Structure 1
Amino acid sequence: AFPFCRFKHYCSRNRSSNRTKKLKSTSKYIYQTLFLKGENSDIKICALGEEWNLHKIYLCQSGYFSSMFSGSWRESEMDTIELEIPDQNIDVEALQVAFGSLYRDEVLINPSRVIALLAAASMLQLDGLIQQCGETMKETINAKTVCSYYNSAGTYGLDSLKKKCLEWLLNNLMTHQCVELVKELSINLMKQLISSSNLFVMQVEMDVYTALKKWMFLQLVPSWNGSLKDLLNEADVWFSKRKKDFGDGISFLESEPGSAFLAVFRHLRLQYIVSDLASAKIVERDGLIPAEWLSSVYKQQWFAMLRAEQDNDIGPQEINKDELEANSMRCGRKLAKDGDYCWRWTGFNFGFDLLVTYTNRYIIFKRNTLNQPCSGSVSLQPRRNIAFRLRLASFDSSGKLICSRTAGYQILTLEKDQEQVVMNLGSQLLVFPLYICCNFLYTSPEKKTETDGQLDNLES
């Protein structure tokens, strides 16, 4: 015997299934009959040399047409409307999909067509379609699409998409370098990336300078079409030839072709470039940076060194997020596969020889003073502070974040040769290669005297 309760459930389930099928077939019928065939049309829309026989009742779902038909506009009484299309991103195919979306429940968006469709949806004020375009774009951000998506997000007011593109660029600009992507980066966008404390730097700040040098070369010589491995050498040769065209003491950024890039290079953290001898020599040789900038940084670093040596500056005493974000050293490392690693980042770090170890899913900082040979000076102060933020990330083949972890901003006090676990990854899923990025501040911010403030005002 078939129990009544199961029979009731069976009937209910079949009615639900039939209702779904009926709704789908109704939606399909409306789209094919009313939209594609234009049956019972009461208005004709003309644009870009094409015509659509549509229905006012459906068009009123669009804010654009709703305003047109509800007011005292002359178009409200017309049965043929010629649309002016001011946006060059809009084409016939995009209008076809946008108009068709008014007659159906779901729209399949082709990522290669999404910008044109977003432009059409924005003009017609189709909020649902705009949102769907934004979600499609977020899911398809990669090296080929990120710049066009970022620009479109700004044009059409998609703030969350713009933020997503910026995050992708901060994560991938240095970790997955690509000639075609670098070519597309505008001056304003590059300025945002280089100034950010969230830029995922690989190796040290000198590598940010090198990336900027390659980017500036590609902006000035956009026809260059070589490989990434040849790019730096080509840039060096090109700038070396230009150097001869200017008088002594004139840097490339002070020349007419270089002046457009001044605002971007200002955001380099030069104090962490000149602290390494090899890097400082390259910067001097290139002649890109104004001598004034460099002399100011040399002076700043010299006084910081004297404070660490003679005033016994033990390092930052408190977390000042703004100070850390604006002035911290940015550096990073790629771990190709799981294993044991130990490294230090090059440069003079005010007697703080920091060793970083990754082992058994622990990341450990050690203040080295006596146990291992060091390439720089070592402070023997009983205690030293360091302010830092540690971030880990893995990416898929399109540069999308798979997993990430951050320790947030912290201050660590270490005695001589003391080591400290700064991150325990435990059982967390790790995907290799694993990228580690750190922000460091070794010395406490210099306290300005009243005289310094007066001098700053005079300079302003």
Structure 2
Amino acid sequence: MQIDDDNICFKGLNNVFASLYNNEIEIDEQYIASICGAASMLNLESVLEKCQIQLADYLRDKEKLLICLRLSDRYGFVKRMKEAINVLKYMFCHFCLDETFLRGLQKSWLITLFSQQFVCVRESEMDLYRAIRNWIYLTECPYARLGDENSIALFFESSFFNRHKYFDLLRLLRVSHLVSLQSNLKLIRGDGIIPRKLLKNVICDQWQMLLRSEETTTGFPEVIDDNEFYASCYRFGRAGISPLSRITWRRLGYFFGVDLLVTYDQGYLRLARNGSMAPTQHQISVKHVDIMKLHYRCIVCADNGVVLLDTQKQSKTFNLDRNVELGKFKLPPNGQKISITSFLSSICTDSSTDLLLGRIDVLGGGN
């Protein structure tokens, strides 16, 4: 018998053959990949269905999640694949810095992930850029390690890097949301992953949006649909927070003159527009409009992927220097750390320039 599936081993194949006689099968976690391969080769749908059911237990563990993704993709477990991607969009903020996890990802999974309506971030949109950047580096240089920024920079400057190979993934980055900090812009320019021609277009659009914001006193729009909100909202957050802590953090980067402070206090989450504290170096100006409507969504997750709070998209009026409660939630058991991601929009940004990454002529334009 010729076996083309490298997942199949003697033990797994033997278990599958035994199931033909016993009409039942015990799926050992150690051999689940082999059992899936053998059942697929023999076209045993009932065994494949049992494997898919067992993979449901793999969704809350980082290492097992990769196994679930790999087996679901290879053997056509569509339902389990959708569930795995759904878990990943909440948990990516925990995994985006993990070298081993990044090595285990495939481009098609990342494309599916970044095509979702939202992805939770560790600090900002740059988390997604860095994850793609590091994943490309690890994929092209399988024996390299993360941590040596000089080696990573040299790789992207070299002729070995071909961005055309990854444009279907790169086009999913919201470039306009990456350039709100000078340090981010410097890194992106240095990498050369995103063409400079595109960056110039984005920066030009950002300047127009800045002028639009400065000439507006009330903030707009009053109503925003879901598609517009998720296309324009800015993401920022924190990960690895002790649930018993009391912390406050400020969103870094220019946000059209709106200075935001998030406060977490043992299960309570609040947001305030800062007006009394001195502006930071990251704020060109702070709007001192007394009342402004902000559109937001906040998601809090435990380390194991359980969603503790999801406000869904809401709109509220925010006064200067007044806390607005975003939500409260029950603390996770066993002291599990939490992640908090906020999606905020005070103005509809024009993300049309981001779509330029999908145009072959721009990508083919070199710098």
TM-score (norm 2): 0.84
Alignment correspondent of 2:106? 186
Kindly state the Cα deviation for residue 168 of structure 1 after the two structures are TM-superposed.
3.5
Partner of 1:42: none
Q: Distance in 1 between matches of 2:203 and 2:48?
A: 51
Aligned counterpart, 1:14:
none
- 2:339 match: secondary structure: strand
Amino acid at match of 2:90: N
CA distance in 2, matches of 1:136, 1:387: 40
Which of the numbers 65, 79, 97 marks the counterpart of 1:160?
A: 79
Q: For the structure 1 residues 328 and 356, does the alpha-carbon distance in structure 2 shift closer, same or farther, using more than 3 Å as the test?
A: same
Q: Which residue in the other structure is 2:323 paired with?
A: 419
Query: Letter of the aligned partner of 1:395 in structure 2?
Result: D
Deviates more, 1:167-176 or 1:85-94: 85-94
C-alpha distance 285-99 of structure 1, shift in aligned 2 (>3 A): closer
Give 2:244's aligned residue. 338
Counterpart residue number, 1:406: 310
Give CA deviations for 1:37-67 in whole Å, capped at 9, x if unaligned: xxxxxxxxxxx3xxxxxxxxxxxxxxxxxxx
Q: Is the 8 A contact 1:395 1:403 kept in 2?
A: no
Structure 2 partner of 1:45: none
Q: Distance in 1 between matches of 2:3 and 2:336?
A: 48
C-alpha contact 2:243 2:267 (8 A) present in aligned 1: no
Largest Rg, 1 or 2: 1
CA distance in 2, matches of 1:282, 1:87: 42
SS in 1 for 2:301: strand
1:408-447 Cα offsets, whole Å, 9 max, x none, are 011122122232111022x554643111111122213569
Contact 1:313-1:444 at 8 Å conserved across structures? no
Partner of 1:380: 288
Letter in 2 for 1:359: D
1:321 Cα offset (Å):
1.0
Structure 1 residue aligned with 2:125? 205
SS in 1 for 2:237: strand
C-alpha change, 1:289 and 1:195, in structure 2 (3 Å) is: same
Report the Cα distance in structure 2 between the residues aligned to 1:200 and 1:276, rounded to whole angstroms.
20
Instruction: Quickly say closer, same or farther: Cα 1:124–1:134, change in 2 above 3 A.
Output: same
Q: Give the drift of 1:313.
A: 5.6
CA 233–386 in structure 1, closer or farther in 2 if over 3 Å, else same: farther
- The gaps in structure 1 that reach 5 residues or longer are 1-47, 49-83, 247-254, 449-458
* Shift in Å, 1:126: 3.2
Amino acid in structure 1 at the alignment position of 2:269: I
**1:233 matched residue in structure 2:** 148
CA–CA distance in 2 between the matches of 1:417 and 1:137?
Answer: 48
Q: Which of the pair has the greater relative contact order for Cα pairs under 8 Å at 6+ separation?
A: 2
For 1:313 and 1:264, the matched residues in 2 are separated by: 37
Moved segments of 4+, more than 4 Å: 84-88, 427-431, 445-448
2:152 and 2:125 map into 1 onto residues whose CA distance is 23
Q: In structure 1, how many angstroms separate the alpha carbons of the residues matched to 2:327 and 2:54?
A: 35
Are residue 282 (structure 1) and residue 187 (structure 2) matched? Answer: yes
The change in CA–CA distance for 1:189 and 1:216 in structure 2 (over 3 A counts) is same
Answer whether contact 2:309 2:327 (CA < 8 A) is retained. no
Aligned partners of 1:281, 1:85: CA distance in 2, in Å? 51
The corresponding residue for 1:132 is: 50
CA-to-partner distance for each residue in 1:274-318, whole Å, 9 max, x for gaps?
Answer: 111222222223333201221121122111111111143613322
After superposition, the C-alpha distances for 1:375-416 in whole angstroms (9 at most, x for unaligned) are 1111122322211110011124xxxx2453200011122122
The 3 A distance-change label for structure 1 pair 386 and 233 is farther
Paired residue type of 2:292: R
Q: CA deviation at 1:241?
A: 5.8
Residues in 2 aligned to 1:447 and 1:355: alpha-carbon distance in whole angstroms: 25
1:95 aligns with 2:48: no
> For residues 187-232 of structure 1, what are the alpha-carbon distances to aligned partners after superposition, in whole Å with 9 as ceiling and x for unaligned?
22222223434322101112222222211111110112x4xxxx14
2:91 matches 1:172: yes
Return the alpha-carbon distance in structure 2 between the equivalents of residues 342 and 294 of structure 1.
32
Name the residue aligned to 2:357. none
Q: Tell me the equivalent position of 2:355.
A: none
CA distance in 2, matches of 1:113, 1:132: 13
The one-character-per-residue Cα deviations of 1:156-203 (angstroms, maximum 9, x if unpaired) are 221121122213332333313321221222222222223434322101
SS of corresponding position for 1:412: strand
The two structures have a TM-score, normalised by structure 1, of: 0.69
Unpaired runs of at least 5, structure 2: 353-361, 363-367
Tell me which amino acid in the other structure corresponds to 2:154. Answer: S
Specify which of 106, 110, 114 is matched with residue 28 of structure 2: 110
CA offsets 1:216-257 (integer angstroms, 9 cap, x no match)? 111110112x4xxxx1424x43433652x56xxxxxxxx862
State the partner residue of 1:216.
Answer: 136
Which residue of the partner structure matches residue 271 of structure 2?
365
Correspondence for 2:222: 317
Q: SS at the partner of 1:175?
A: helix
CA contact (8 A) 2:175 2:202 kept: yes
For 2:156 and 2:313, locate their aligned partners in 1 and report how far apart those are by CA, in whole Å: 43
User: 2:232 aligned to 323, 327, 339, which one?
Assistant: 327
2:358 match = none
Query: Secondary structure at 1:408's aligned position in 2?
Result: coil
- Conserved in 1, the CA contact under 8 Å of 2:89 and 2:120? yes
The Cα of 1:91 is off from its aligned counterpart by: 4.3
- Distance in 2, matches of 1:257 and 1:266, equals 14
Is 1:390–2:286 an aligned residue pair?
A: no
Secondary structure class of the residue paired with 1:268: coil
Q: Given residue 272 of structure 2, which amino acid in structure 1 is its aligned partner?
A: K
Give the Cα–Cα distance (whole angstroms) in 1 for the partners of residues 42 and 141 of structure 2.
40
Partner of 1:451: none
The CA distance in 2 between the partners of 1:186 and 1:361, in whole Å, is 36
What is the one-letter code of the residue matched to 2:297?
A: R
Could you say what the CA RMSD is over the residues aligned between the two structures, in angstroms? 2.7
